[in-house]
Amino acid sequence: MSLVLLVDDEFDILTTYEVLFQLEGFETAIARNGRDALLRVAEQQPDLVLTDFMMPVMNGLELCRRLRADPRTRGIPIIVSSAVAPDLGAPGSLCDGFFMKPVVFDDIVARVRDLLAAGDAKA
């Protein structure tokens, strides 16, 4: 079972994602901001990170930068979701997917499955 780390400061979004991903057969972990997410990653490395962009303490962009800068975590697929279109640099450099909020859950699940399958194919 793949572990998806869900990162969002909005309780309703976080809990909705958690329930929906679990119903889709994923194991989940949650974090309320980027700093909390880094602590979770240190405890148990996820197979994929789905993060909000605008959060207090540490935003999604900084989380992406730190995950990509660390050799232990740079290969973790990252999907960013946001109500605003952030500048994430060149495609694939900081994240592996972007979704505007409100998201279509089936679209995110499809992207998660694609990224995890691609990772399995590389292994």
> What is the extent of the structural domain holding 96?
3-122
Predicted pLDDT of residue 80: 93
Are the beta carbons of 101 and 83 closer than 8 angstroms? Answer: yes
For residue 6, which of 108, 104, 94 has the smallest C-alpha distance? 108
Domain count, the chain: 1
Predicted pLDDT of residue 120: 72
- pLDDT, mean of residues 37-42: 98
For 51, 98, 113, the CA distances from 69, given in Å and listed in that order, are 17, 19, 24
Predicted pLDDT of residue 88: 59
Are the beta carbons of 109 and 24 closer than 8 angstroms? Answer: yes
Q: Is 115 helix (H, G, I), strand (E, B) or coil?
A: helix
pLDDT confidence tier of residue 87, bands split at 50, 70 and 90: low
For residue 6, which of 70, 21, 102 has the smallest C-alpha distance? 21
Predicted pLDDT of residue 123: 55
Q: What is the C-alpha separation between 44 and 49, in angstroms, rounded?
A: 12
CATH of the domain at 18: 3.40.50.2300
Furthest-apart CA pair in the chain: how many Å?
A: 36
pLDDT confidence tier of residue 122, bands split at 50, 70 and 90: low
For residue 51, which of 23, 88, 19, 14 has the smallest C-alpha distance? 14
Which pTM was predicted? 0.92
